[in-house]
A and B are shown apart, each in its own frame.
Chain A
Amino acid sequence: MSDRYSIRLHVTRRVLGTILVFVGFGSNAGNLVGQSSDTGVEPPIMGGAPTMRLMDEQQYTNAISDVFGTDIKNTVRFPPVRRTDGLVALGATTAVVTSGALETFEAAARDIAAHVVDEQHRLLIPCRPANVKQPDDACAREFLGRVGRLLYRRPLSADELNVRVAAAQSASEKLNNFYGGLQSALSGLLVAPEFLFLTEATEPDPTLSGAVRLDGYSRATRLSLLLWNTIPDEELLRAAGAGELYTQRGLTRQVDRLLASPLRVQAGVRAFFDDLMVMEAFGDLTKDSTIYPTFSLKIASDAKEQALRIIVDQLVTRNGDYRDLFTTRHIFLTQALGTIYRVPVQAAGATEWVPYELSENDPRAGLLTQVGYLAVNAQPGRTSPTRRGRSLREVFMCQKIPDPPPNVSFTIIEDPNAKYATMRDRATAHSTDKTCAGCHRLTDPIGLGFENFDGAAQFRIREGNAIIDASGELDGISFHDGKGLGQAVHDNPNIPPCIVKRLYQYAVGRNLSKDEKPVLAYFEQRFADQQYKFIALLRTLVTSKAFYQVGVDATDKPRSVTALNGQ
Chain B
Amino acid sequence: MSYSKSKLSRRSILRGIVGASAVSVGLPFLECFLNGNGTALASGAALPVRFGTWFWGLGMDSEAFIPKKVGPDYDLPPEIESWKDIKQHVNLLTNYHVITDGKPNVCHFTGWVALRTGSVPITRGYYPGASIDVTIGDVIGGASRFRSLDCTATGNDRDSYSFRSADAINAPVTSPIELYQKLFGAEFQDPNSPNFTPNPNIILRRSVLSGVRDESASLEKRLGTADRARLDQYFTSIRELEERLALQLQKPAPAPSCKVPGPMNGKELNGLDALVVAERHRLMADLMAMGVACNQTKVFNMVYSISGASTVRKGLEKTHHTITHEEFVDDKLGYQPTNFWFLQRAFESYAYFIKAFASIPEGDGTLLDNCLIYAHSDQEFAKIHSITGVPMMTAGKAGGRMKTGIHVDGKGEPGTRLGYTLLQVMGVNGGEWGTGSMKTSRAISEILV
Contact = CB atoms under 8 A, between A and B. Distances in A.
Given A101-B171, A404-B107, A555 B223 contact: yes
B385 interface: yes
B133 to A, nearest CB: 12
B276 to A, nearest CB: 9
Given A102-B234, A283-B156, A380-B316, A407 B212 contact: no
Contacts of A102: 234, 237-238, 240-241
A223 to B, nearest CB: 21
Interface stretch (A137-145, A287-295, A369-377): A287-295
Contacts of B105: 406
Given A98-B170, A106-B205, A380 B156 contact: no
A438 B142 CA distance: 52
B165 A80 contact: no
Interface string A133-176: 00000000000000000000000000010011001001100110
B124 interface: yes
Interface in A232-285: 280, 283-284
Most buried by A among B211, B316, B386: B211
B168 A379 contact: no
Contact of B327 (A4, A100, A201, A414): A414
B126 to A, nearest CB: 10
B319 A414 contact: no
B169 A79 contact: yes
Given A100-B148, A288-B315, A80 B224 contact: no
A106 B242 CA distance: 11
A128 B436 CA distance: 66
Interface string A86-111: 00000100111111111110100010
A380 B384 CA distance: 22
A160 B124 contact: no
A110 B205 contact: yes
B318 A410 contact: no
A291 B317 contact: yes
Interface in B123-149: 124-125, 146-148
Contact of A97 (B125, B225, B227, B233): B233
A380 B328 CA distance: 20
Interface in A103-122: 103-104, 106, 110
A554 B310 contact: no
B121 to A, nearest CB: 13
A182 to B, nearest CB: 12
B272 interface: yes
B212 A191 contact: yes
A16 to B, nearest CB: 21
Contact of A403 (B106, B310, B327): B106
B21 to A, nearest CB: 15
Contacts of A4: 221-222
B259 interface: no
B95 interface: no
Nearest to B106: A403
B125 A188 contact: no
A486 interface: no
Contacts of B314: 288-290
A555 B220 CA distance: 9
A201 B222 CA distance: 8
Contact of A96 (B230, B241, B326): B230
Contacts of A84: 125
B167 A556 contact: no
A404 B384 CA distance: 11
A316 to B, nearest CB: 29
B241 A95 contact: no
Contacts of A413: 326
A381 interface: yes
Nearest to A95: B167
Nearest to A409: B384
A98 B208 contact: no
Interface string A395-428: 0000000011011101001111000000000000
Contacts of A289: 314
Contacts of A290: 314-315
A187 B160 contact: no
Contacts of A124: none
A185 B212 CA distance: 10
Contact of B270 (A103, A167, A286, A381): A286
A480 interface: no
Nearest to B147: A99
Interface string A187-211: 1100111101101010000000000
Contact of A286 (B223, B237, B271): B271
Most buried by A among B157, B167, B205: B167
Given A291-B315, A554-B223, A98 B164 contact: yes
A376 B316 CA distance: 17
B224 A410 contact: no
Contact of B225 (A193, A280, A297, A556): A556
Nearest to B384: A407
Interface in B298-327: 310, 312, 314-319, 322, 325-327
B231 to A, nearest CB: 6
A79 B162 CA distance: 11
Interface string B165-204: 1111111000000000000000000000000000000001
A32 B226 CA distance: 32
A410 B326 contact: yes
A209 to B, nearest CB: 22
B216 A77 contact: no
Nearest to A96: B168
A49 B222 CA distance: 13
Interface string B253-264: 000000000000
A83 B147 CA distance: 26
Given A288-B315, A289-B314, A79 B170 contact: yes
Contact of B18 (A97, A99, A174): A174
Nearest to B381: A407
Contacts of A170: 207
Nearest to A49: B224
Interface string B276-311: 000000000000000000000000000000000010
A567 B277 CA distance: 71
B219 interface: yes
Contact of B165 (A78, A96, A99, A174): A96
A14 interface: no
Given A96-B230, A193-B234, A555-B224, A167 B318 contact: no
B170 A407 contact: no
B211 A77 contact: no
Contact of A78 (B171, B214, B216, B271): B171
Contacts of B160: 80
A95 B226 CA distance: 11
A72 B217 CA distance: 30
B227 A379 contact: no
Nearest to A186: B208
A100 B107 contact: no
A415 B314 CA distance: 22
Contacts of B384: 406-408
A185 B146 CA distance: 25
A284 B310 contact: yes
B15 to A, nearest CB: 15
A416 B328 contact: yes
Nearest to A286: B271
7 contacts: A77-B171, A81-B167, A164-B215, A174-B19, A188-B212, A286-B270, A297-B271
Given A82-B125, A286-B272, 7 more contacts: A84-B125, A100-B148, A102-B234, A174-B204, A184-B204, A408-B325, A555-B222
Closest 6 CB pairs of A and B: A381-B317, A556-B224, A406-B385, A96-B168, A79-B171, A102-B237
Interface of B: 18-19, 105-107, 124-125, 146-148, 150, 156-158, 160, 164-171, 204-205, 207-209, 211-212, 214-216, 219, 221-227, 230-231, 233-234, 236-238, 240-241, 270-273, 310, 312, 314-319, 322, 325-328, 383-386
